[in-house]
Amino acid sequence: MFSMNGIFSNGFASLFMKLIFVIIIAYLVMMVINFLRDKFINKEPMFQKNDIGELLQILYKVFIFSGLGFMVGNIVQFFFTQRPQYAGNIGASMIVNNNWDDLKIGIILIFIAIGFNAARIILDKRK
């Protein structure tokens, strides 16, 4: 099991989660406003816009870049926190002394991004 807020992460994972919630809520508010505008102001039928597909594409990009950022950040943090006495045996110090929570979170985010992309592709095939 891993903690969403590691010792050295300064709460970046929880900040990321809050950012994702803000993006989703803002996009949903825009969808509702567009729906109400089309329903009451523009009475003419317009072409259907794939709002959910666009949201999935935005989330895919955010999760991919964030996942890569968490992974690269954790690896860079590992190299900056190495002590000179462990220079001869890097493999043992990687396993015992370091916090790899951000790496795990990054891998999970990349798999979630792959899921978002697969959902978007399925939605595009149905239309």
pLDDT, position 64: 94
| Vertex 59 angle, CA 54 and 64, to 5° | 130
Let me know: does 3 contact 12? Beta carbons within 8 Å.
no
- Within-domain flag for 33: no
pTM confidence score: 0.66
pLDDT, position 121: 93
DSSP label at residue 74: H
- Within-domain flag for 42: no
- Within-domain flag for 107: yes
In the chain, the number of structural domains is: 1
* Tokens, residue 82: 């190495």
Let me know: does 27 contact 55? Beta carbons within 8 Å.
yes
pLDDT per position as a tens digit, 98-127: 677 888 888 999 999 999 999 999 988 987
pLDDT per position as a tens digit, 22-34: 888 988 888 888 8
- Within-domain flag for 43: no
Which domain range does residue 120 map to?
Answer: 50-127
Contacts 24+ apart (CB under 8 A), 122-126: 123/50, 123/52, 123/53, 123/56, 124/50, 124/53
